[in-house]
Chain A
Amino acid sequence: MAINSPGEMTQKSGILLVRSLGLCFFLGALLLVGSAASLSVGAAQISFQEVCDWASGGGELTEVQEAILGRSRLPRLIVALLVGINLSIAGLLLQLVTRNPLADPGLIGVTAGAGLAATIVLALYPRAASALPIAAFSGALISSIVVYGVSWRPGAGSSPIRMILAGVAVNAILGAVIGFLMTAYSDRIPSMMFWTSGSFNGRSWMHFDLLWPYSLVGVIGSALLIPKLKILEMGEDTATSLGINAGQVRLFTFVIAALLAGSAASVAGLVGFVGLVVPHLVRLLVGRSASLLPTCAIGGACLLVWSDVAARAILPPSEIAVGVITGLLGGPYFVYLLYKSRWLQ
Chain B
Amino acid sequence: MLEVQNVSVNLGGVEVVRDVSFQIARTDNVAIIGPNGCGKSTLLRCMIGSIPAEKGRIYLHGEDFSGLPLKQRAKSIGLLSQRESVPSMTSVFDYVCAGRHPYRKFFRGLDRIDLEVVDRVLEELDIAHLRDRVVERLSGGERQRVRLATLMAQDPEVLLLDEPMTGLDLCHQYLLLKVLSTTQRKFSKASISVMHDIDMALRFFSRLLVMKEGRIVADGPPQEVLTDRLIQEVFGVCGKIQTHTETCFPLFVCDPFQDQSRYTENQSQASCSGGTSLDLG
Contact = CB atoms under 8 A, between A and B. Distances in A.
Contacts of A230: 87, 90, 98
A17 B91 CA distance: 13
A160 B276 CA distance: 54
Contacts of B88: 101, 233, 283
A106 B104 CA distance: 35
Contacts of A245: 70
B85 A241 contact: no
Interface in A210-266: 224, 227, 230-231, 233-238, 240-245
B84 A242 contact: no
A288 B87 contact: yes
A237 B93 contact: no
B101 A231 contact: yes
Which of B75, B77, B90, B123 has the most chain A CB atoms closer than 10 A to its own CB?
A: B90
Contact of A242 (B102, B123, B129): B102
Interface residues of A, number: 32
B73 interface: yes
A86 B145 CA distance: 39
Nearest to A157: B85
B219 interface: no
Given A13-B132, A231-B98, A236-B50, A242 B83 contact: no
A240 B129 contact: no
A289 to B, nearest CB: 8
Interface string B74-101: 1101110101111111110111001101
Given A241-B79, A241-B154, A12 B132 contact: yes
Contact of A99 (B84, B85, B94, B126): B85
A241 B83 contact: no
Nearest to A224: B107
Contacts of B101: 227, 231, 242-244
Interface string B56-85: 000000000000001111110111010111
Contacts of B95: 234
A9 B132 contact: yes
B141 interface: no
Contact of A3 (B94, B129, B150): B129
Nearest to B128: A3
A99 B70 CA distance: 24
Which of B79, B88, B126 has the most chain A CB atoms closer than 10 A to its own CB?
A: B88
A314 interface: no
Interface in A108-154: none
B50 A283 contact: no
B266 to A, nearest CB: 43
26 contacts: A1-B129, A3-B129, A9-B131, A16-B91, A224-B107, A230-B87, A230-B90, A230-B98, A234-B87, A234-B98, A236-B50, A237-B45, A237-B79, A237-B84, A238-B79, A240-B48, A240-B50, A241-B81, A242-B98, A242-B102, A242-B154, A243-B72, A244-B70, A245-B70, A287-B89, A287-B91
